[in-house]
Every structure is written in C-alpha cells, then in structure tokens.
Amino acid sequence: MLFLKTILWLASVHGSILPALADAYQWPNPQYEALERMLFEGTDNNDKATSILTNSCARRVSNGSPVAAEWLRLSYHDSSTKNITDGTGGLDASIYYELSRQENIGTGMGNSMNDFSASSNKYVSRSDLIALGVVWGVASCAGPVIPFRTGRTDATVAGRFGAPQPQEILDLAIQRFSLQGFNQTEMIGLVACGHTLGGVNNIDFPSIVQVPGPTLFNREFDGTDAFDNAVVLQYLNGTTKNPLVTISNTLFQSDLRIFQSDNNATMNLLANPSVYSATCGSLLERMINTVPSTVQLSDAIELIPFKVTRALLTVENSQFVLDVVIRVAITGEDTPASGRAITIFWCDAYGANAGCAGGVAGTSTTASPTPFNDVLVSPVGQAQGISFVEYEFFLPIDVEKSVSNFWFELFTDGVAATQDNGGAGFAVQDGLIFIPQQGSASGSSQVTFDVIVGVRSQNTPTSATMNVFDNTFTGTPSTPFSATVQLQPATNAAIGPAFAPYTLYGGTFTTPSSTAGLPTVDIAVQVDGANHTLDFIRPRSAQDTFPTHSLSSVSTTTVSSVPTSAA
C-alpha cells in the first residue's frame, strides 16, 4: 500500500488500521509482525537489539542508573502532557521537543531518546517505542509483564507543561496528576511504582543530592536492583534512604508529601508484594496508554508461535530462489529443537502443474536450525519463558514455473502439524520481486540508496513508483523523511538471459543527515493491466553481504490437499 508523504498518513495508519490487527492475524501483515518482533525479540527492522540495553535490569555505564528507570521516567514525563478536559496530550513523543524544560532535566532523558532514535519506522512510531521501553524495562527487573498496545501517533511539537517537580506543593501535584487522569490514590501508587528503580544524582539535582566535588553520585530510592516494593517497606519501617523523603530541606520532600497525603493508607496497602505488583502493572499500563483522545490503541500484541519472518522470491548469486525463514517459539514445556523438523511444500505458478494441478508439489525438509540461530529474546519473552529457534529454506526455483504459494508441516517427535496460514497458504506474488543483491548504499551522514526490482514483463509499465520513508533521527528529533521516486529501466544492473521473464527497474534516493539512514520503501508497479506492490522493504545497506548459500535439496511429491489460495 502506498503511503502519503506526510506525518498525517502515519497517524491515520496507527489510529485506524492497528485496532483490528490482533483480532485475526494472518500473514503477511508487516505492521503486526514488526511490532511483535519488537515486543518478544527486542529487535527492530534493522536488526538493532534495543531491548538488550535493559537485560537483567542492567545499569547504564555512563551514569550507573538502571536503564529501566530512565525509560520509565521518559515515558511518564511524555504522558504527563495529557489534559483530560480537552483530550490533548499524553504519550505522543512530544517529550523529544521538551527536554530543555526544567521539569525534564537529566542526562537519562537524552540517553533514552538516543536509545530509541534509530528504531522507529513506518509501522513502529516513536511514541510506541517509548511505551515499549516501559514494558521491557519493568519485565527486565522482575516486575509484572505489562500488555503492549500500539497505535500511538507522534507529535512534532512540544506539549504542555505537566510533570510535577520536587519543590512543588502537594496541592499542585494532586492537580497535575488529576489533569492527567489519576486521582490521589493513584498518584501515590504511580510514584511508588515509578520510584522502585533508580534514584537522584548530584549532577542533575545538586540541591537534592549534595556531595562535594564533581564526581557523579547516585542516591537511590531503595537500593535494590529489582522492581519490588522495597521502596514502600523501607518508607514504612523508617529505614528509607529515598532522598525525596529524607532530605533535610522540606522543600524537596516531594515523595514524603505524596506518600503520607492519605495518612499512609495507600502505602500500607502496597506493603503487600502481590498488591504492589498488581497495582503497578495496572497503573503503568494506564500510564503508557494515556494518549490523545484522537488515538485508538490496538488490542494487546500477542506472540506468533509459528512465524514466517522472510519469504523473498529473488535472484541471488545468479540463482532464482525462494528464501523462506521460519521462527518457531519454544516454551519451557515444549520439545527442544532437536525433536523438530519442518517440511515446506509449494505450488508452481505456471506450467502443467500450476496451482499443484494433479496434486504435484515441490518439497524440501530441514531439521537443522540456522547456523547461528541468532534470534534474541526480549525481557518480555524471557519473563514468559520463551525462546526461539529459526529455520531457513533457500530453494532453487525454475524461473519459468515460479511459485504461487507455500505451506508447511511441522514435525514434533514425529507428530505432524500443518501450518498453512489459517487455510489460506502463504501466497507469493512474482509479478514484482525485490533484488537486494543488485542494490547498493553509500555515504555516511547522507546515505544514497540504489534499489533494484524485477518486473515479470517485457512491456513498459504504465507506472512504477517507489515511496521512501525514514522516521529515524540523529541528535535532534526531526520530522520523518519521505520521498517519491519514479523507477526507471536499470541500465547499471543485470541478472542474465536465464531470467528473461524479468526486466529490471531501479530508483535512487538519498536520506538526509538528520536521519540515521535506515529507510523502508514501498514499491508499486502497474503493467499489463495488473497492479503489483511490495510493502515495507528494507533496502540494501552498506553493511549487507551476500555469502553463497547452500541450496536446499528439493524434490516433487504428491499432496492430497492444497491450501485454498494455492489451488
């Protein structure tokens, strides 16, 4: 699907398409697949493992603060712009335009922004990433697993002032939280949940943490590296070292004022670990779901147990191939990878056996995971006891016959289970193919990309366009980069006469230095009265290599049934 060259298009996608995604997932759905990968693998579309920064409740090397604490603070301060009276504000990434404000002081805010700056794209908004940081961070510190809903839209300007500051009186804090949609009891809980991690340092808050010399010193809220209720218990038993409780200057005793504002009734309830965990899970979910009234969030993203992560019909190393990668989720009770095998079946698109006529299908079997099996697991996946194993088929395909559809049988200890995309099969469109090996990328601050595709026709297309989108940024946040490129015959690329059904077309564009140079492209070609599209394609980067693959061993077989769309 082509997209408009404005942020309004992105807003409409996140606002109107996403809510239906979790109702009945069916491949291909690149939006849901990208979000699911982020949630459970912690890895973005460019294979950057963002969630690894908070694994095991890790601390940041530069300042010693738990990364999860910084991500929590960023998220609350972003959501604090919410105004329930007029529906504006909330978690919308406006925080990136508000970091110069006194209420947002702290190196952790800029650190967190940079953590997420290169992972946003057409389908994953900057604000969804901020929310996801809370989900990852809390899970990484043994806290509750918070459901992750998506569809947040990104602001391009600052929101209102909203985050309470330590020196403000209690009534003002209550007013601020109330305008955000939280009552006094919920305010107490939200502060107690947010202040189970991290603390205050002397560089950012010298009036609160007063130590001699310029050396960085952190005074922590409760002294534990876990999402637990120690901050509550230590407050109640008088052993707390929380600087926002114990500081002698009563002006900055903001946590003390908030905690005791209902005579410690809420804090006494939170002394129960189960109550604390459940309350924090609920309040933090509400916090990250505090969005402008014009935004409709999706259902919670759920794991795809059997996931086709790549299905690329292309030309590589002078071979027409179908490259298929499958990710299988494994839980603690499941059979290990050694007890599994996968068989793929496919139908020809053309010729005597097109659509598996006569029950004739191509087939290949593998019991060997990919050599490095480098599918990472996010803190959410780890908390749920999930791991992944990955399999790849690199299938040599007769270009004259091509492929129309494929499906699988997954064997677990000899028991077969059909994986056929809900009976529809996994459809392949071969009228337009992406050929990454023929493309290129060059440059550092400004990156020039050359994208090559193959069109299965000798006729000139009526139209051939490439829409470019890059929502990443470096340093200062910028509006997304977008461009539309007209594809032209690719005179600088060739795949040889053996692939005569295809004619090569290409387009070139340059991403500005304000981005991280990590775009995706959508391609649409109209030829011979038919429309062909490729959605959410990552162009070849300068780091991509194409080692010689070992071709999968293939044969033909007879099948008794064929998924509906393959017939």
pLDDT tens, 300-341? Answer: 999 999 999 999 999 998 899 999 999 999 987 665 666 789
> How does the average pLDDT of the chain come out, rounded?
92
What average pLDDT does the segment 355-373 reach?
90
At position 272, the amino acid (one-letter code) is N
How far apart are the C-alpha atoms of 258 and 170, rounded to whole Å? 7
Say what the pTM is: 0.93
Distance CA 140, CA 134 (A): 10
Average pLDDT over residues 530-543: 95
Q: Which pLDDT does position 565 carry in this prediction?
A: 63
Q: Say how far apart CA 380 and CA 142 lie, in whole Å.
A: 10
CA distance between the termini of the chain: 25
At residue 333, the pLDDT reads 63
Tokens of 418: 């059909």
Q: Could you count the other beta carbons within 10 Å of the beta carbon of residue 70?
A: 28
Using DSSP, state whether 542 is helix, strand or coil: coil
Rounded CA-CA distance 340/17 in Å is: 36
Q: Can you tell me which residue has the tokens 């961070």? A: 137
- Which pLDDT score is estimated for 4? 26
What does the block give as tokens for 153?
């839209």
Rounded to an integer, what distance in angstroms lies between the CA atom of residue 500 and that of residue 296? 48
> How buried is 562 (Cβ within 10 angstroms: 0-12 exposed, 13-18 middle, 19+ buried)?
buried
**pLDDT value of position 412:** 85
User: In which band, very low, low, confident or very high, does the pLDDT at 371 lie, cut at 50, 70 and 90?
Assistant: confident
Res 546 pLDDT > 90: no
7-288 with 440-537: one CATH topology? no
- The yes-or-no verdict on residue 87 having pLDDT over 90 is yes
- 130-156 pLDDT, tens per residue? 999 999 999 999 999 999 999 999 999
Interhelix angle 184-194/170-180, nearest 10 degrees: 90
Q: Which of 89-93, 140-144, 370-374 has the lowest mean pLDDT?
A: 370-374
Q: Any idea where the domains of the chain sit in the sequence?
A: 7-288, 326-427+550-566, 440-537
* Burial tier of 191 (Cβ tally within 10 Å: 0-12, 13-18, 19+): buried
Sign for the CA dihedral angle at 71, 76, 81, 82 comes to: positive
Output the pLDDT for position 544.
Answer: 84
C-alpha neighbours within 13 Å on the C-beta side of residue 266: 20
SS3 assignment, position 39: helix
Which residue's entry shows tokens 């738990």?
66
Distance of CA 405 to the CA centre of its chain: 28
Per mean pLDDT, which range of 32-36, 129-133, 201-205, 265-269 is the poorest?
Answer: 201-205
Tokens of 470: 């890059």
DSSP 3-state assignment of 503? strand
Q: Which of 114, 122, 15 shows the shortest CA–CA distance to 74?
A: 114
CATH number of 440-537: 2.60.40
CATH fold of 7-288: Peroxidase; domain 1 (1.10.520)
**Which among 563, 523, 556, 558 has a CA at the least distance from the CA of 539?**
523
How confident is the model at residue 45, as a pLDDT? 94
